[in-house]
Amino acid sequence: MGAGPPAQRRAEGARDGARPLLSVRGLGIRFKTTQGIWQATRRIEFDIAPGERVGIVGESGCGKTITGLSILRLLPGNFAGLDGKILFDGVDLASCSARQMRAIRGKRIAMIFQEPMSALDPVFTVGHQIAETLRVHSNIGQGEARAKTLEMLRRVGIASPERRIDDYPHQLSGGMRQRVMIAASLICGPQLLIADEPTTALDVTVQAQILELLRDISETSKTALMLITHDLGVVAETCTRMITMYAGEVIEDASVDEALVRPLHPYTSGLLRSLPHLSPRHGRLPSIPGRVPSIAEMPAGCRFRARCAHAAMGCEGEQKLQDAGGGRRVRCHRFAELNLPGALHPPGAPAAAKVATQ
């Protein structure tokens, strides 16, 4: 395992080294809807080691956000039940007491929510909201909390934070709100940070700065990062591992480098092939034909089958998340015989220069 690029080595090291900080086992979430009980996710399995940075990608609606929310037990009102275990540092978050959960939430595990406007309370100033998180979890005075809040706002790149700290959320731009959320999540120094699309509202220069801050925090204070995003460039630059989800299941789990160059699951490959830089300007953008099966008609066997160009005999059977060697896992029985293209163009050709300068 000694060779390989640095990111890969680190990922492997983190995986077979320290015991995981977070172990999700057989996680499934159900909701009540007017059309009956909806099984939104099932059989979710993954580990995150201290200091590891894992990207979670996948189709819109596949269950990334609710998986993150379930770790903090912040599920919506029509939540109808949960299967499996969520082990965090030895405690099962799926079954621990509400009191235990409150002590962990915000302090040891923090979350940056996908929709900053809805996560911020419109009637309080942003400074108040950040300082409150800090004061709930520690014994510090108002003055100190304010000073720490200002410092954090500066670190996330808010200009003149002393003039912004007393602003209400509606007075900030989309990207500023997002940075306020990031500041609030980092203020208590969590061991695990769940970041749900943390940089979508930011320009790429501020994004680069925030991603560097997250990388830095994960390296210096061993904060583990679970980064939910649709931006594969962000995953490539920030994470060591990439987990791909489809229709409520984990379908691939690999180091970022492996997943980008040689994805093992046809859905992962399709996602990578949909990147706009792989198609001519103003032309049609590639996409995966068909759409996710509706919950009422979820097929038995592989859930990607109706859209998969490689579907064959055996795909109608249950697909297990199986070991693909080298610590990779994939939910497709044909993975070994398929040779799927990744994010480079054209597949296999020495296209690095082309992609890098497009």
Partner 1 sequence: MTAASAEQRREPIVSVRDLQVRFQTSDRRATVKAVDGVNFDVRRGETFGIIGESGSGKTTIGRALVFLLNPSAGAILHDGIDPTALSRREFQNHRRDYQIIFQDPNAALNPRMTILASVLEPLELARIGDRAARERQAREALERVGLPQEFGERYPHQLSGGQKQRVVIARALTLKPKLIVCDEVVAALDMSIRGDVLNLFADLQRDLGLTYVFITHDLAVVAHISERVAVMYLGQFVELGPTEEVAERPLHPYTIALLSAEPRPLPSTMRQESRIVLQGEVPSPIDPPSGCRFRTRCPHAQPLCTERVPEWRELKPDHWVACHFADRPNFSPR
Residues that bind ligand ATP (CB under 6 A): 31, 33, 38, 40, 60-66, 76, 78, 114, 170-176, 201
Q: Does 190 bind partner 1 (CB under 8 A)?
A: no
Which positions from 328 through 357 interact with ligand SF4, judged by CB under 6 A? 332-334
- Supply the DSSP symbol for 114: S
The region of 58-66, 182-190, 271-279, 293-301 touching Mg ion under the rule CB under 5 A is 58-66
Phi and psi, residue 213, nearest 5°: -60, -45
With binding defined as CB under 8 A, does residue 225 bind partner 1? no
Only one of the segments 19-27, 131-139, 157-165, 302-310 lies at the binding site for ligand SF4 (rule: CB under 6 A); that segment is 302-310
Q: Does 319 bind ligand SF4 (CB under 6 A)?
A: yes
Output the 3-class SS for 46-87.
EEECCCCEEEEEECCCCCHHHHHHHHCCCCCCCEEEEEEEEE
Site string for partner 1, 296-335 (x = CB under 8 A): x---------------------------------------
For residue 247, give the 3-state DSSP assignment. Answer: coil
Inter-residue contact 236 to 275 (CB < 8 Å): no
With binding defined as CB under 8 A, does residue 168 bind partner 1? yes
Crossing angle for the helix pair 142-155 and 174-186, to the nearest 10 degrees = 120
Distance CA 71, CA 41 (A): 13
Is there binding between residue 65 and Mg ion (CB under 5 A)? yes
Among partner 1, ligand SF4, ligand ATP, none, the one that 311 touches (CB under a kind-dependent 5 to 8 A) is ligand SF4
Of residues 15 and 307, the one with the C-beta less far from ligand SF4: 307
CB atoms within 10 A of CB 282: 5
Q: Which does 330 bind (CB under 5 to 8 A by kind): partner 1, Mg ion, ligand SF4, none?
A: none
Residue 184 host element (H or E): helix 174-186
- Segments of 97-158 assigned E as strands: 109-112
For residue 271, give both structure tokens: 């996602």
Could you say whether residue 90 binds partner 1 (CB under 8 A)? no
Exposed/middle/buried for residue 167 (C-beta within 10 Å: 0-12, 13-18, 19+): middle
What three-state secondary structure class fits 132? Answer: helix
Residue 266 interface partner, choices ligand ATP, ligand SF4, Mg ion, none, CB cut-off 5-8 Å depending on type: ligand SF4
Select the binding partner of residue 321 from partner 1, ligand SF4, Mg ion, none (C-beta < 5 to 8 A, by kind): none
Q: How far apart are CA 193 and CA 191, in angstroms?
A: 7
Binding site for ligand SF4 (CB under 6 A): 265-266, 302, 304-305, 308, 310-311, 315, 319, 332-334
